[in-house]
Structure formats: C-alpha cells, structure tokens
Structure 1
Amino acid sequence: MLVNIMMLASQDQSNELGITVKKVNDLGLGWVVTQHIITVKRMPQIYEKVMVATEAASYNRYFCYRDFWIKSEAGEELAKMHTVFVLMDQNKRKIARVLPELIEPYASDYTKKIERLPDPGKIVTTAQVRNKKYQVRFMDIDSNQHVNNAHYFDWMMDVLPADFLLTHLLTKMNIKYKQEVHYGDVVASDAQISGDVKTVHRIKTDKGLCCTAECSWVKHN
C-alpha cells in the first residue's frame, strides 16, 4: 500500500502536467518501473495523516529517475523511495527513447550518467527455499497489459511465515523487475530467510526470471 500511494502521487503529478496515461498510450508507449529502492524509518500508523511528495529528479536517453518521500504532519520523514522508469514500446515490447514532449513538463535535469544501482541479493539454492504459486488474475493487470508492479510485493511477502511477519518490520527493500508477467501466467514466488534480518526473493514464470528483491528487517516485540 505504501508503494501504491507513492505511485499514485506520481500519476497525479503527471496528470496535472498533461502527461496522462492516455497521452502516453496514444503514442504507443507506456511507463514501466525497472527498480525501486525503498527505505522505511517507520511505517505510518492507522488514521495518521501523512504527506506524500515526489520529484522527477533526472533523466537520460532511456532512463528516468524519480524520488518519493512520505512525511508526517510534523515533517518527520517516514519513508523514501528511489525509482527507475523506462518508456516501453507497446508493440515491440522494447525500451524506447525518452521523448522530449513526455519529459520536458517535469523540468527535471538531463544527465548523460546512467545510475548503477545495486542488484538485489540472490537465493542460495543450497539453503531452504520457501515457495508458493499464484495464478495471475485479470484484476492484477494494469494499463500496460502486464501485472501492476505492486502485486509483486504481495506475492513476495505472502511466502514468508506469519510468525516472521508478525515479529519483524521492513526497513529497506531493493526490488528489480526483469521481465513482464501477463494475464494467465502462473507465478512461482520463492523466498529465503537469511539469519534474522534479511530475506531474498525471486518471481518466476515458465518464461524465466521476472523479478528479484532483497529486504532488510528489524525484529520487534
């Protein structure tokens, strides 16, 4: 839900600037997330009012970088997220160059630099791996005709045991998307608990690896 709220703020800003989903789709394109790095200082509480802020920070020919913050009413930073977006050609299913008319309204900085963000850790096959399978439903699909990226979080967290989730709080997550998941696919979600403060995850279909993630946790009473 935290990620959903931040992504909605991004869409709200795009709508205000006239870069609507329809405008992008009419060009045969769609925005696709390739990586999120999320840091959580503390989760918002029930009934707490928060402020969600976002900024399109920078871009180059193929990648757009956006930052998000969630703050309390008093201005305390509760969580932040750094996200990498690309434009996907809907017909060729390949990354397309960023078009000036789709990026200039954000007034973000152009950079030749391509960020080298760390990859999530990998599952070690010699240790115990927890896994479940899921059928992709029609309601899991977004306007780009593939699974909304927030659903991956559900699949990853659902594999972890309840006693772990009840006694741990997420402090950081690095999630990287490799390949699209479509309606009708059967998803295999694998997870591995490393020690007591880290989990690593992967999402696969019969087409191959789709997503990997690494989570850091803190234990609480």
Structure 2
Amino acid sequence: MASEKLGFGIEQLGENGIAWILMKIRVDIQRNPKVGETITIETWPQEPGRIEYGRDFIVRDEQNHILIKAISSWVVMDLRQRKIRRSSSVPIHFSAVDNRRAIEAKLGKLKAAGTLETAYQKMIGYSDIDFNGHLNNSRYVDYVMDCFALQEHQKYHITSIEVHFTNEVLPGEVIELKKDTSAAQENGVYIEGINTNTNKVVFKSRLRIEAE
C-alpha cells in the first residue's frame, strides 16, 4: 500500500492503537478495466486538514489512457476509545504533498431529492466485516448495486459513485437500504442505508448512470 511506503500503513498505525477510517469517496469511471487487462494505479496524499486526510487516485490502461479517477477523505480513529483523532495528535507527517487533484470537486453533503423507498434489508455477517470488527467499506458498494434488478444493470452503467460513511455497523445488525430514483431522468440516483437497530443513517451515496 502507498501508506505503508510512507511509513503510515495499517501495521504501523496499529502499533499506536490507531487506524485509518474511510469517510468519503467519489469515483468517476471513464471505462471499466477488462479481464486480463494490465492497469496502473497512481495515488498520492493531500495536505492534511484538522481531522481529515485526503488521498487521490488515477487508474490508467497500458496506453496511459485514464480509466478511473477518484478522490477520498480519511480520518484516524483511536481503536480503544473509538473516537476520531485530530491530525495534530497523531504521528503522521508527509515529507512531500502533491497538490494535484484527480477530480476538481469537493466531497460535499449528500441528500435525497425526492421520496425514499425501501429496496431491501441486509443483516451483517462475519464475511462482511474488516479487521476493525465493523462493516467493510467495500461491502457498501455491493449493497448499493443490489438495490437494482439485473435488468436495470443490463440497461444502465455507472459513470460516477460517491459514498459517505457516517456510522459504523457491527455484525448481527441490520441495514435497511432505501433509494430515491426521482432524479433518474437527469441520470442521478440516491441511496442510503439505515441501521434498524439504532435507527441511524450509516451511509449515503449518489450515483450517476447512463444508458448502455
């Protein structure tokens, strides 16, 4: 991992009782990589804020064409207190910061444009969690994709997805997936997940879709 090369990977932070937690991410897709295709992933950190650490990504094919661009926002959590730590209180310092942005945009607030309708419910099991003991960030995207029927996946493809993670989810808890398709004519879909055990919103997402 890029963070490990900088000296701030999972193991290094774990020795200090802290861990990286992804809070927000936006991924813009020009083209999906093909099976067997060789790709190159470039990533770099942004200047740390008071509590947030930005990291950008660019994925290219063998002809150096950009396939995917992404921007993300991370925080550092104290694993014992389960609280977010300020950047000034953790031993993370970048010797050089690249001010380029993969996407010229801010990760602002996400909200529904219309009425939310329940898509389905999902109980969190062992295979859904990460080494921190809560729901793995990558699984949220799977759950978002499952909000659509196979026929809808065959008719449309995603050109952009933004996800904001607001509350952790633990094994045994249930997420209710809700979606708002009122802006589908403008190629926008909003989806959020609510923890039925706590009634808290655990994530919000916004998708841009295009017809095949």
Shorter-chain TM range is: 0.7 to 0.9
Q: What are structure 2's unaligned runs of at least 5 residues?
A: 100-104
Q: Distance in 2 between matches of 1:100 and 1:200?
A: 35
Is 1:147 aligned to 2:115, yes or no? no
Report sequence identity in percent. Answer: 21
Pick aligned residue for 2:207 from 206, 212, 215: 215
Match of 1:64 in 2: 53
TM-score (norm 1): 0.84
* Alpha-carbon distance, 1:100 to partner: 5.7
| Alignment-mate amino acid for residue 145 of structure 1 | G
Conserved 8 A contact 1:130-1:160: no
State how 1:1-12 maps to structure 2 within 5 Å: 12=1
The number of residues matched between the two structures is 202
Q: Distance in 2 between matches of 1:17 and 1:35?
A: 22
State how 1:1-221 maps to structure 2 within 5 Å: 12-98=1-87, 99=89, 101-104=91-94, 107-108=96-97, 117-122=107-112, 124-125=114-115, 129-193=117-181, 194-196=183-185, 197-205=187-195, 206-207=197-198, 208-220=200-212
| Paired residue secondary structure (2:137) | coil
| Paired residue secondary structure (2:93) | helix
Instruction: Looking at secondary structure, tell me which structure has more helix per residue.
Output: 1
Conserved 8 A contact 1:36-1:81: yes
Deviations 1:63-92 (A, max 9, x none): 101000111111100111100000011122
Q: What are structure 1's unaligned runs of at least 5 residues?
A: 1-11
Q: Distance in 1 between matches of 2:46 and 2:94?
A: 12
* Alpha-carbon distance, 1:19 to partner: 2.2
Once the two structures are overlaid, the 10-residue window that deviates more, 157-166 or 77-86, is: 157-166
